[in-house]
């Protein structure tokens, strides 16, 4: 079996406009697909007449939205939408792969998502383990790493922006679905953190890389998999749920008080920031440029108020906070940071906290995600995540029995959030500079993040929009 025929590639692309919008990782579901065109193709494994063939495809997706609006909210040109696909081809699809079928590709072949086929995902691990190059794709091990290729694989279901495959209980291979030109921040930062011996990451073991248009592109990263771990978001939500079930108890009296873990997590994040500074250096935003940072915050606020009118009630108070940033008399230290830090990016292993997914905010251009920024941005992201854990259950549980009951629940949720926010900052201060020593910038960064969240909830989960709005109402109050 071979993919040398142009017609076969075109046939697969013809199937994609109907298939892509149903994939969780596809990011333009609200826009009609006008065309899907192949950018590059490579056969990674040829199974012969009856066996499965593995095809690596990069496709360009053109949508109606791209033609209607070539610019994002910041007035920057929209990026080309490039997606990575791993396509399996078989003449007869086994029942276990029925759910992964893309469609009939001609020549008696059926195309399907190969991430669900253990025979073909084993090929990817073998290629990495043996430092192989295929049709311009480089599969490589990290220095000093040996890889066991005899492990059974399974995909992780439900991911939002990527596809990950687990091998036994040792490795996880993250395949980047939407591609950007340039080395992935996730791969770059993991390699840098490994070099300095960071203890709070999933160690990188290998990668899949190549080039497009003469520029480097990252296609995947193989890392250590932590089989016995808990997700930080789930742990926090469990703690809040226990508190809501017993609203007469204080957070430290509830069955799953989270403050001790929040403090440990603060220490872990500060240690990672220290490791990143050691590995990649630091910088400064001089005072004469800080006002430009504040002005950009205000520009993004104005754009969001135009989109979400309910934010307008807080706009003046938010502008006042951003204006205070512009008046800072000291330079702002910067370095490489995580960029999209929240409880869902944190895993509690049997040893300590591990932070994952150093890609940065997926909606931002790569240039923004690899820029040096204040580490307080990561701290602000975590503080916002504690608010989300505290309040999202209130948004989902329906109306309380009475106004008094509603007031009691909200008071307890705020108490939980404040307790854990304080514990996180206290833990961070044990290892790094105390975030609470920079109240003006930290408050502004929290508000900036909350403004972004308003837009996200407005577009995706309207019933949750009160979660960030509630936080904005509190954060925008004049500092006491």
pLDDT at 70: 47
Whether the Cβ atoms of residue 181 and residue 365 lie closer than 8 Å to each other: no
366: number of Cβ within 10 Å: 17
Render pLDDT for 182-223 as a digit per residue (tens, 0 to 9). Answer: 999 999 999 999 999 999 999 999 999 999 999 999 999 999
Report the mean per-residue pLDDT for the chain. 90
Residue in 75, 84, 32 with CA at minimum distance from that of residue 57: 84
pLDDT over 90 (residue 243)? no
pLDDT at 398: 62
Whether the Cβ atoms of residue 2 and residue 43 lie closer than 8 Å to each other: yes
pLDDT over 80 (residue 5)? no
Q: Among 166-180, 238-252, 413-427, name the one with the lowest average pLDDT.
A: 238-252
Render pLDDT for 9-29 as a digit per residue (tens, 0 to 9). Answer: 899 999 999 999 999 899 877
* Displacement of CA 429 from its chain's centroid (Å): 25
Cβ-proximal residues to 437 (8 Å cutoff; 6+ apart), any chain:
none
Render pLDDT for 21-69 as a digit per residue (tens, 0 to 9). Answer: 999 899 877 788 999 999 999 999 998 877 899 999 999 999 886 554 4
pLDDT at 8: 84
Q: Residue 384: which H helix or E strand, with range?
A: helix 376-396
Q: How far is CA 77 from CA 63, 69, 307, in A?
A: 15, 9, 19
In order of start, what are the domains of the chain with their CATH numbers? 6-224 (no CATH), 230-475 (3.90.1200.10)
| 3-class DSSP state of 94 | coil
Q: What angle do CA 245, 250, 252 make, to 5 degrees?
A: 105
The average pLDDT across 421-436 equals 98
Q: How far is CA 434 from CA 61, 261, 341, in A?
A: 45, 18, 18
Tokens standing for 3?
């993919």
pLDDT over 50 (residue 339)? yes
Residue in 197, 189, 191, 187 with CA at minimum distance from that of residue 162: 187
Q: Binning pLDDT at 50, 70 and 90, where does residue 144 land? A: very high
pLDDT over 50 (residue 71)? no
């Amino acid at each position: 079996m071979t993919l040398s025929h142009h017609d076969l590639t075109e046939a697969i692309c013809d199937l994609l406009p109907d298939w892509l919008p149903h994939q969780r990782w596809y990011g333009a579901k609200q826009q009609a697909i006008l065309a899907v065109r192949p950018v590059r193709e490579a056969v990674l494994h040829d199974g012969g007449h009856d066996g499965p063939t593995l095809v690596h495809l990069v496709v360009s997706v053109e949508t109606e939205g791209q033609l209607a609006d070539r610019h994002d909210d910041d007035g920057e040109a929209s990026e080309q939408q490039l997606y990575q696909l791993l396509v399996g081809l078989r003449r007869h699809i086994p029942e276990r792969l029925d759910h992964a079928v893309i469609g009939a590709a001609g020549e008696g072949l059926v195309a399907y998502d190969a991430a669900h086929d253990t025979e073909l995902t084993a090929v990817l691990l073998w290629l990495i383990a043996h430092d192989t190059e295929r049709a311009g794709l480089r599969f490589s091990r990290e220095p000093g790493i040996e890889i066991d290729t005899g492990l059974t694989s399974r995909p992780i279901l439900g991911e939002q922006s990527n596809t990950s495959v687990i091998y036994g209980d040792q490795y996880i291979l993250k395949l980047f679905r939407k591609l950007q030109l340039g080395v992935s921040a996730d791969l770059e930062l993991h390699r840098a953190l490994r070099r300095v011996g960071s203890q709070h990451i999933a160690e990188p073991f290998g990668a899949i890389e190549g080039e497009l248009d003469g520029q480097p592109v990252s296609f995947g990263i193989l890392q250590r998999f932590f089989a016995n771990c808990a997700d930080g978001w789930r742990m926090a939500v469990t703690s809040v749920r226990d508190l809501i079930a017993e609203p007469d108890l204080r957070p430290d009296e509830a069955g799953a008080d989270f403050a001790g873990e929040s403090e440990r997590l603060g220490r872990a994040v500060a240690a990672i920031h220290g490791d990143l500074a050691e590995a990649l250096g630091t910088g400064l935003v001089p005072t004469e440029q800080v006002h430009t940072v504040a002005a950009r915050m205000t520009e993004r606020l104005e754009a969001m108020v135009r989109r979400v009118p309910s934010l307008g009630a807080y706009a003046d108070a938010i502008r006042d906070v951003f204006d205070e940033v512009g008046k800072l008399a000291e330079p702002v230290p910067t370095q490489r940071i995580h960029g999209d830090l929240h409880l869902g990016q944190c895993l509690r292993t049997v040893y300590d906290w591990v932070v994952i997914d150093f890609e940065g905010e997926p909606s931002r251009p790569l240039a923004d995600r690899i820029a040096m920024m204040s580490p307080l941005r990561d701290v602000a992201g975590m503080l916002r995540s504690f608010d989300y854990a505290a309040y999202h259950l209130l948004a989902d549980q329906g109306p309380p029995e009475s106004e008094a009951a509603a007031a009691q629940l909200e008071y307890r949720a705020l108490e939980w959030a404040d307790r854990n926010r304080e514990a996180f900052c206290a833990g961070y201060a044990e290892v790094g500079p105390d975030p609470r020593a920079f109240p003006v910038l930290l408050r502004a960064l929290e508000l900036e993040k909350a403004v972004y969240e308003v837009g996200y909830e407005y577009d995706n989960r309207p019933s949750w929009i009160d979660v960030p709005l509630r936080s904005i109402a509190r954060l925008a109050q004049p500092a006491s």
